[in-house]
Amino acid sequence: MKVLVLFEELSGYFLACLNAFVKDGNEVTIVHKKVNEEAPFIIPDHFDRYEREGIDDLEKWYATKTFDGILCGGWTYKPYLKVCRSSKGKIPVVLAFDNLWKANLKQTILTKLSKRYFRNRFDFCFVPGSRQKEFALKIGFNQSEIVTGFYCCDFDCFDQAYEKRKSVDRSKKILLYMGRYVDLKGLNELWSAFVNVLTEDPDIDWELWCVGTGPLEKVEHQNIKHLGFKQPKELEEILVEASAVVMPSKKDNWGMVLHEVTTAGLPVLVSDRVVAIEAFVQDGENGWIFDPLDESSIENALKRLFELNGNDLLRLGEASRELSKNITLESWVSKLTNFFTNNVRN
């Protein structure tokens, strides 16, 4: 099967999904936005790949090719939309997106234009979860035309971290944050709650390690370490050493990091604004969910974590590992294949 992928910015985890699709006996041609030279991933040579900035007329380029289906990321780049429209009714055309339904004016207008804008270009939707599925239903797709599970982590990478964690000394207790230093990520609230909990009980021996950079002013505390930007290999080493992960985001359309760290077998504290909790978190089973705008909610989640002993942390980590299997590379490949073989099912 030969599939054309029309995409915006590539990511390591999306390439891992496509790589699994190719290993299953398929061919993939990717047209994408120019890759950032600092991107922390390598694009495999077996992809037939084109940067869209180097194609003068995408429709003419497409007319010289033959494909069995199209996977298109988003609906804003006009040359992609033209290709999808010209293919509709000839081969299956799948729309992928992670937008959440917010019922704002722009989205309301989209629902009015849905038949003309979406249905004459796309046959199916491949989306991360139920919140995106709600959007797909609003813009005119039927239940049977929408499949969830579009975002999937690179299992091989985080499997290695999971195996290495089994033999690591757990005497040091480390809560890990990974992400940008910006207000939207909820870091100020996390730092404040963490300091409050340790001030209330100075015997708590947990440390908060923060990986990332950004304009936010760092809070200085003897139990908070700012590690700066780390390359993927360095991140793996930190994940192996960590005891749990915290995600305090005030907004996150999905949250790929949550799939990655649960695959690595880590307990989690996660904001209820991280949409991926629907797939990878059961409150009290592999961690706790909190309100990122309520400091007392964050503090309560921290206290629950800090009360756990080593065996408790292992138990929660194994629960995370099991929940991570709700979406796998195998299920991703199966779902994408089903779109192009008229066997769509969620």
Asked whether residue 30 falls in the same domain as residue 129, the answer is yes
The identity of residue 109, as a single letter, is I
Rounded to the nearest integer, the mean pLDDT of the chain is 93
- Confidence at residue 248, expressed as pLDDT on a 0 to 100 scale: 98
- Domains in the chain: how many in total? 2
CATH number at residue 277: 3.40.50.2000
Residue 184 lies in a domain: yes
Asked whether residue 204 falls in the same domain as residue 118, the answer is no
Segments forming the whole domain that contains residue 254: 155-324
User: For residue 44, is pLDDT > 90?
Assistant: no
pLDDT-based confidence at 343, cuts 50/70/90?
low
Query: What is the percentage of the chain residues whose pLDDT exceeds 70?
Result: 97
Instruction: Tell me the three state secondary structure of residue 95.
Output: strand
Joined together, the tokens standing for residue 129 give 């979860």
User: For residue 345, is pLDDT > 60?
Assistant: no
Asked whether residue 125 falls in the same domain as residue 198, the answer is no
Asked whether residue 61 falls in the same domain as residue 90, the answer is yes
Residue 345 lies in a domain: no
Q: What is the dihedral of CA 138, 144, 150, 156, to 10 degrees?
A: 160
Residue 88 lies in a domain: yes
Joined together, the tokens standing for residue 251 give 């907004």
Residue 276 lies in a domain: yes
What's the DSSP call for residue 286? T
Average pLDDT over residues 256-268: 97
Instruction: Tell me the three state secondary structure of residue 171.
Output: coil
Residue 15 lies in a domain: yes
- Confidence at residue 40, expressed as pLDDT on a 0 to 100 scale: 63
Average pLDDT over residues 192-220: 97
The pLDDT tens digits of the residues spanning 145-193 come to 999 999 999 998 899 999 999 888 888 899 999 999 999 999 999 999 9
Asked whether residue 134 falls in the same domain as residue 39, the answer is yes
Residues 340 and 92 sit within 8 Å (Cβ to Cβ): yes
Identify the CA nearest to 162 among candidates 288, 328, 320, 11. Answer: 320
Alpha-carbon distances, residue 7 vs 4, 25, 96, 148 (angstroms): 10, 21, 9, 18
Asked whether residue 40 falls in the same domain as residue 95, the answer is yes
pLDDT-based confidence at 113, cuts 50/70/90?
confident
Residue 346 lies in a domain: no
Asked whether residue 315 falls in the same domain as residue 287, the answer is yes
Asked whether residue 103 falls in the same domain as residue 136, the answer is yes
The pLDDT tens digits of the residues spanning 69-81 come to 999 999 999 999 9
Residue 70 lies in a domain: yes
Query: What is the percentage of the chain residues whose pLDDT exceeds 90?
Result: 83
Residues 2 and 71 sit within 8 Å (Cβ to Cβ): no
The pLDDT tens digits of the residues spanning 60-70 come to 999 999 999 99
Joined together, the tokens standing for residue 5 give 């992928």
pLDDT-based confidence at 110, cuts 50/70/90?
confident
- Confidence at residue 151, expressed as pLDDT on a 0 to 100 scale: 98
CA gap 241, 145 in Å, rounded: 43
Asked whether residue 116 falls in the same domain as residue 211, the answer is no
Asked whether residue 35 falls in the same domain as residue 74, the answer is yes
Residues 247 and 239 sit within 8 Å (Cβ to Cβ): no
Asked whether residue 127 falls in the same domain as residue 64, the answer is yes
CA gap 265, 261 in Å, rounded: 6
**Which pTM was predicted?**
0.93
Number of residues written out for the chain:
346
Residues 207 and 246 sit within 8 Å (Cβ to Cβ): no
User: For residue 24, is pLDDT > 60?
Assistant: yes
Q: Is 66 left (phi over 0), alpha (psi -120 to 50) or beta?
A: beta
Residue 19 lies in a domain: yes
Average pLDDT over residues 263-276: 98
Asked whether residue 144 falls in the same domain as residue 180, the answer is no
